[in-house]
Amino acid sequence: MVGNAMTEKTGRFAIIEQFLADGIDHMFGNPGTVEQGFLDALSAYPEMRYVLTLQESVAVLTADGYARATQKPALVQLHSTPGVGNGIGALYQAMRGHSPLVVIGGDAGIQYAAMDAQMAGDLVAFAEPVTKWSTVVMHPSSLLRVIRRAIKIAATPPMGPVYVCVPQDVLDAPVVEPVRPTSLPSTRVTPDAATVRSMAELLAAANKPMIFVGDGVAFSGAQSELERVAELLGAEVWEADAGEVNMRYDHPLYRGMTGHMFGSASLPIMQRGDANLIVGTYVLPEVFPELGDIFAPGAKTVHIDLNAYEIAKNHPVDIGVVADPRLTLGLLIDALEQVMSSAQKTDAQERTAALEAETQAKRAAALEDDQANRDAVPLRMSRFMEELVARLPEEDVILFDEALTSSPAVVRYWPPQRTGEYFLTRGGSLGIGIPGAIGAKMANPDKTVIGFTGDGGAMYTIQALWSAARHNVDAKFVICNNGSYRLLQLNIDQYWKERGIAKHDFPVSFDLSHPPLHFAEMARGMGVQGVRVENPDEVGPAIEQALAHPGPFLIDLVLEGDTNPERVGNTCGQ
């Protein structure tokens, strides 16, 4: 019962009505004893779809994919202390990626809090470091109020996951609050005209303008405005802390992403400009960031974001604006067109032409290398993508990509064009490739959805395939099986170079080749059809089989890798 009327029900029913009142009709979870009454109540609400997963991290990551694809809050149900513990790594991924997840967790009851009983734990403290807000409902009179507050906090930029512990005795008590939709505040705010003009004048005066963007652009729907600002300035555009499509990948001014691991790799990019525009991100999202200044001496910086915490967090800016990226960039377009001289506009056009020529030359060289190795065995990812793109529909395709070392080939042959059609892993946790694709497909049942992951990442959440089969989720999965934690191999190679260490064998802990992982066999054991691809002539038929199959399908794609199974066997088999 929605509106001002009293629910006249216990909390276990009313909480479901509250979520439905907010348009939340999917719940991703894994059940436990202390949630039994609440889960039993779901049978009274067939419009609420419960998506069963076999481990809590799968529930969180599937919801993450669903939230990213819908751009709305997604609901997760976790068990008490062990369940929350299992979901922590996935919640960290959601927090770093600003996914609006509403996580409800069970507990035996407030009445047992002093007993230090089985499964007791400080659940709020568990979840606090990996959520935007973490709380427990202490009394039935505030159950729905707290749920609405959680939804509001999750959905308000900067978005992020929230955790609400809902003890069983609270859910079993009568509810005295009415069910009503959550009130969400508008954040469509803009700076004053004088600030906009100051930003425009600073950027227009640059000889080498640079733009650094993140998912705040996609969240606000600012892709076209960003592209127009870049074109007016003739500025390179780099993504930082991005997993959405903020700018089409084949735009002549799009340059890719700054480093995600080492600040030394990003520093030459960051110091190119004499004026920097940062939009919807922070600088910089690296594991080992540069500790000194990252901008060129004398360079000016403008930062636009709805997240005030990130503006000038680590590096000073000249103009910082807490505002909506789309509306603010729209105002900046008008201001730039007014303040830029004819000479400045000509310079911008020349910069754009030079960058476009450079981008085309790099792409041509990469394609030439792809063709030279087209029939290589083990396979190159480029061969697979060449054949996949030739068979994909022209429209309504979504790729969910966790296979980072294969991503360059993915986007070279299928350059993402619009927000919502390509999702890249973000946050650092492994395992989102399969469940993320499942969530994206559930949000877009009429679109072709393909998830890419590596062999290492796949093994974190391989049981997600069972959920795809159980719920008949017609997503396709590609395991980029190079027999290793390839990204770790690349990272330690950089580590050796920085410290002057001679290159030698990678640690055996990075090698997954012994015993070999056979993902098609695993998939079939969970009700998902699959095929293993090892040779070039198998690629096309496998893709055709996957796309034609009415249900989930997995391709175990065996790729080139730096592995040594004999060494692993000799070292680890003692």
pLDDT band at 7 (very low <50, low <70, confident <90, very high): very low
Closest to 131 (Cα-Cα) out of 170, 104, 168, 167: 104
- Which pLDDT tens digit goes with each residue over 257-296? 998 888 888 999 999 999 999 999 999 988 899 999 999 9
10-34 average pLDDT score: 96
The whole-number pLDDT of residue 115 equals 87
How high is the pLDDT of residue 253? 98
Instruction: Give the integer Cα–Cα distance in Å for 264 and 281.
Output: 19
In the predicted model, what is the mean pLDDT of the chain?
A: 95
Taking alpha carbons only, the member of 296, 254, 547 closest to residue 411 is 254
Q: What is the band of 8 on the pLDDT scale with cuts at 50, 70, 90?
A: low
Q: Which residue has the tokens 């939009």?
A: 279
CA angle at 456 for the pair 451 and 457, rounded to the nearest 5°: 40
Q: What is the pLDDT of residue 140?
A: 95
For 66: left if phi > 0, alpha if psi spans -120 to 50, otherwise beta; the answer is alpha
Q: Which residues share a beta bridge with 320?
A: 303
Phi–psi pair at 382, nearest 5 degrees: -60, -35
Give the Cα separation of 333 and 282 in Å (integer): 22
Which residue type occupies 519?
F
The mean per-residue pLDDT over the stretch 203-223 comes to: 98
The pLDDT value given to residue 508: 92
Q: Quick one: what percent of the chain has pLDDT higher than 70?
A: 98
For residue range 49-97, what is the model confidence (pLDDT) as tens digits? 999 999 999 999 999 999 999 999 999 999 999 999 999 999 999 999 9
Enumerate residues 6+ apart whose C-beta is below 8 A from 515. Answer: none
pLDDT at 3 (0 to 100): 45
Confidence band (pLDDT; 50, 70, 90) for 573? low
Q: Provide the whole-model pTM.
A: 0.96
What's the confidence (pLDDT) of residue 469? 98
How would residue 369 be classed by pLDDT, with cut points 50, 70 and 90? Answer: very high
* pLDDT, average across residues 99-112: 93
Check residue 4 and give its pLDDT. 44
Mean pLDDT of 567-571: 78
Tens digits of per-residue pLDDT, 116-138? 888 889 999 999 999 999 999 99
* Rounded Cα gap, residues 222 and 243, in angstroms: 15
Task: Specify the pLDDT at position 574.
Answer: 45
Each residue's pLDDT tens digit, 386-428: 999 999 999 999 999 999 999 999 999 999 999 999 999 988 8
Helix, strand, coil % in the chain, rounded to nearest 5: 45, 15, 35
